[in-house]
Homo-oligomer: A and B are copies of this chain.
Amino acid sequence: MSSSYGKIFKISTFGESHGVAVGVIIDGCPAGIDFDTDFIQSELDRRKPGQSRITTQRREADEFQVLSGIFEGKTQGTPIAMVVHNADQRSKDYAHIAQQFRPSHADYTYQAKYGTRDYRGGGRSSARETIARVAAGAVAKMILKKIGVNIQAYVSQVGTLKLTTPYQEMNLALAEENAVRCPDPTMAQTMFNYIDETRKKGDSIGGIISCVITGTPIGLGEPVFDKLHAELGKAMLSINAVKGFEYGSGFEGVEMLGSEHNDEFYIEESGRVRTKTNLSGGIQGGIANGEDIYFRVAFKPVATIMIDQDSVDSEGNAVTVSGKGRHDPCVVPRAVPIVEAMAALVLVDMYFRNHAYGK
């Protein structure tokens, strides 16, 4: 019961890495939305493997098909089912590790929890599961666009290579113009080279994705347990390989005094209430105050490496896990659309939750 997310705009995902298909049902999408299939496909293309030599070479077109919920180009208020059939399954790549527990993968915990597992490519624990998130997130983005919400994520760190320029001083759209998805072209090239070197060594490296959300309606978000940033945090932490989440001042904020950290209010000429600074990250008491929402997501290095590692198998024997098959040396370039998709799913659900009372 954990492959579902959302209270009103509710998604339920399915599919294993080397099964027949992966997909998603959206239950709770309003009627009358123009359904832009090209946009959905373009979002899936941002996530798909094989985009450059620093991403896995698994060959998948990742073309999606709609099974229900759309009629004459519009949503019907009924469940929208979308599937992507798996093409390049090559499950023989995995036969040699059927009984092995790959270090820092979910092999051991799935086996322990379920007493069985689909060992082909990680089965359900594969990052291929995120296709469903991106497809559903694209539908969420369509709705958010209509109310002026824009979500833009980008790579801000790879290993020790940090992009320190504040987001306000960059053209974030440039992130989509390079394989790393870093909006600073020079840094992007440096990161690319570093990831490529890491790949050649058969190793992997971590990174950070930053995300900026503009145009969030004031009042969106819920108090107490479902605070807007708490839901964003959960959503991000639910993405494979994520180890941390911070928003606004984040971990650095702990070193500040209240007198430095507080965002004083003022009135704009338009009469709108604004804050002079935005260390709050656009959210106060769990509720959006209309300022930019921004947060950072830490990704560990991908567990799949092409280097021999010690491990054990399901019989309790010591084994050597040999790296074979295909892998992403650094997950963050392909994770940018996933971060955006999860942010969109959180926001659209909060939007409808807020709207239930007429806001």
Contact = CB atoms under 8 A, between A and B. Distances in A.
Nearest to A4: B27
A55 to B, nearest CB: 15
Chain A interface, >50% SS class: mixed
A333 interface: no
Interface stretch (A44-52, A178-186, A198-206): A198-206
Contacts of A226: 1-2, 238
Nearest to A122: B285
A68 B16 CA distance: 6
A304 to B, nearest CB: 8
A187 to B, nearest CB: 15
A71 B16 contact: yes
Contacts of A279: 104, 300
Interface string A187-222: 000000000001000011111100000000011011
B15 A103 contact: no
B305 A262 contact: yes
A312 B14 contact: no
A104 B261 contact: yes
A106 interface: yes
A40 interface: no
A238 B283 CA distance: 12
A305 to B, nearest CB: 4
A81 interface: yes
A2 B158 CA distance: 36
Nearest to A219: B113
Given A243-B247, A245-B245, A284-B108, A81 B21 contact: yes
B223 A76 contact: no
A316 interface: yes
Residue of A105, A257, A275, A302 with most partner-chain B CB within 10 A: A257
A359 B29 CA distance: 14
Interface stretch (A56-64, A167-175, A349-357): A349-357
A123 to B, nearest CB: 7
Given A3-B225, A32-B115, A224-B238, 14 more contacts: A2-B226, A3-B79, A21-B67, A67-B83, A71-B118, A101-B273, A103-B264, A104-B263, A109-B285, A109-B287, A205-B256, A248-B300, A258-B303, A264-B309
A105 to B, nearest CB: 7
A25 B283 CA distance: 27
26 contacts: A1-B10, A1-B27, A1-B226, A2-B225, A14-B78, A15-B67, A15-B81, A19-B71, A20-B66, A71-B116, A77-B113, A106-B285, A109-B287, A110-B223, A129-B224, A204-B258, A206-B253, A233-B234, A233-B245, A243-B254, A251-B251, A253-B298, A257-B301, A259-B309, A267-B312, A273-B316
